[in-house]
């Protein structure tokens, strides 16, 4: 096990013990955060799957109607009709905090009414297709917001897991190994000092005994 370079004295030992305690507290806090992030992630995944199924089903219906419109009017006429009208800003973006992760919040503005194209050259099914698409648009935006939040939460989970593992499997064991090594060296030094002290006492005792004769 690798160790931290430190002088084997009691001051360094005290510093390392404090550092070990801090690392263990940090590990517990990060582990708790990781658990909460995983709960939030799993809950969002479950809700997102249901919403995605609904959105994909509604989009399939709308795209089917667009396919019918293209078959009746032709691709060029349909493309021209869809490009009619003026572009307007529709989406606003803000942020909020979820488990200390900044996630986007999308706000969909009012969708313009379909129009601007010739009713004589476009089939009625195009109006129905645009209405279907407008109806599903708010849920598409909601889905995009949810999936971006899930992506950001997944990235935060991975970062937090790496930090937890670094503390659990690298830093804390390294500090503990260094503490054990310094403690062993200090114990050996203390035993050496005690042995020398006993020898000195024996020498003094023999000298006193010799002087008393």
Residue 194 belongs to a domain with what CATH number?
1.10.287.3240
pLDDT in tens, the chain (213 residues): 666 777 878 888 899 999 999 999 999 999 999 999 999 999 899 889 989 999 999 999 998 998 998 888 888 877 777 776 666 678 889 999 988 899 999 988 877 666 666 666 678 888 888 888 888 989 999 999 999 999 999 999 999 999 999 999 999 999 999 999 998 888 888 887 777 888 878 777 777 777 655
Number of domains in the chain: 1
Q: Contact, 137 vs 108, CB < 8 A?
A: yes
Q: Does residue 206 belong to any structural domain of this protein?
A: yes
| CA 51 – CA 29 distance, rounded (Å) | 33
Q: Containing H/E element for 69?
A: helix 10-73
Model pLDDT for residues 48-107, shown as the tens digit of each residue: 998 999 999 999 999 899 899 888 888 887 777 777 666 667 888 999 998 889 999 998
Q: Does residue 116 belong to any structural domain of this protein?
A: yes
Q: Does residue 4 belong to any structural domain of this protein?
A: no
The residues that bridge with 104 in the sheet, in sequence order, are: 95
CA dist 141 → 106, 127, 170 (Å): 7, 21, 43
In which domain, by residue range, is 166 found? 10-211
Q: Does residue 186 belong to any structural domain of this protein?
A: yes
Q: Does residue 1 belong to any structural domain of this protein?
A: no
Both structure tokens of 110:
């009012």
Q: Cα 166 from chain centroid?
A: 16
Strands 101-108 and 91-98: antiparallel
pTM over 0.85: no
Q: Does residue 3 belong to any structural domain of this protein?
A: no
Q: Does residue 67 belong to any structural domain of this protein?
A: yes
Q: Does residue 2 belong to any structural domain of this protein?
A: no
């Amino acid at each position: 096990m690798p160790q931290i370079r430190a002088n084997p004295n009691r001051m360094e030992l005290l510093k390392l013990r404090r550092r070990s305690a801090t690392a263990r507290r940090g590990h517990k806090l990060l582990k708790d955060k990781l658990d909460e992030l995983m709960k939030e992630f799993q809950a969002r995944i479950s809700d997102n799957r249901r919403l995605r199924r609904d959105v994909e089903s509604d989009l399939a219906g709308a795209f089917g109607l667009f396919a019918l419109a293209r078959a009746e009017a032709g691709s060029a006429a349909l493309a021209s009709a869809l490009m009619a009208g003026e572009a307007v800003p529709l989406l606003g973006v803000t942020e909020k905090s979820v488990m200390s992760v900044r996630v986007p919040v999308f706000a969909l503005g009012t969708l313009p009414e379909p129009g601007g194209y010739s009713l004589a050259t476009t089939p009625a099914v195009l109006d129905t297709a645009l209405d279907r698409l407008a109806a599903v648009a708010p849920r598409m935006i909601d889905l995009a917001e949810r999936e971006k939040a899930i992506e950001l939460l997944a990235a935060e989970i991975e970062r937090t897991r790496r930090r937890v593992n670094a503390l659990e499997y690298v830093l804390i064991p390294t500090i503990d190994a260094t503490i054990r090594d310094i403690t062993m060296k200090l114990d050996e030094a203390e035993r050496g000092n005690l042995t020398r002290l006993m020898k000195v006492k024996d020498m003094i005792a023999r000298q006193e005994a010799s002087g008393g004769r």
